Structure 1
């Protein structure tokens, strides 16, 4: 990446323009002053999903999950570890399919956990089933264009 990239703040949803060369320097939001990257997956809702998907220039990896799902619970710490390894190159996020059933329906989620990788606002690929952190990193890194 050269030039500047747009990053949507996970806290206040404002759009920040960050020099690509400074992404690894732990940039803060110009509006709320909080970290743009925390090494943690962000929780997306119907209200925040479109802005993160459409207005951010970095790829987005979403874990569609549910609180009652055993494999989802097992994968949660692995997904969290993957966030620490992949940010700021990729934003990792979670969508609770119980709280956001319309998002699950919109993306045709039929089993959970399902990881969906978006780049340029479009779905590139998806993977159903629990994965370890290193498997997540390998899988999503192979998808980067």
Structure 2
């Protein structure tokens, strides 16, 4: 019998790692760059790294679509970072700057920012526009993954 594994994309070098379930809670490191697979903070993604995290990871992906000029986006940033510490390793939190990745914003029809989009299994499962606090981000994410 083979040990069950999950695919986890490294937040640093974006390499896909096979992680045995037995090592899930033991602070695993990337096999390529040897940095932690879960650092408890959001990872900034561009268009190519977004695709890797979306399609090659078994970990659900919560994306904050934002822009540097957006006041509510800047206000929500500390709450999103705090939520990452609570939700990892069950969920990977990521930030996509819509100014630097306009193709992603167009593809996912981001009409207002900040917008949170939750992906699981490579597909969108929930979306929420507007700034949220840490507790609301955590509750919203867990509720949509449980349902």
Shorter chain as denominator, the TM-score bin is: over 0.9
TM superposition shift of 1:72? 0.3
- 123-132 vs 11-20, greater mean Cα deviation: 11-20
Structure 1 stretches of 4+ with a deviation exceeding 3 A read: none
> Secondary structure of the equivalent of 1:24?
coil
TM-score under structure 2 length normalisation: 0.95
TM-score under structure 1 length normalisation: 0.96
CA distance in 2, matches of 1:53, 1:21: 23
Structure 1 runs not aligned, ≥5 long? none
CA distance in 2, matches of 1:21, 1:104: 37
Aligned to 1:120: 121
Structure 2 runs not aligned, ≥5 long? none
Aligned to 1:101: 102
1:91-135 deviations in Å (ceiling 9; x for gaps)? 000000011111100100000000000000000010000000110
- 15-24 vs 95-104, greater mean Cα deviation: 15-24
Matches within 5 A, 1:1-145: 3-145=4-146
CA-based RMSD? 1.1
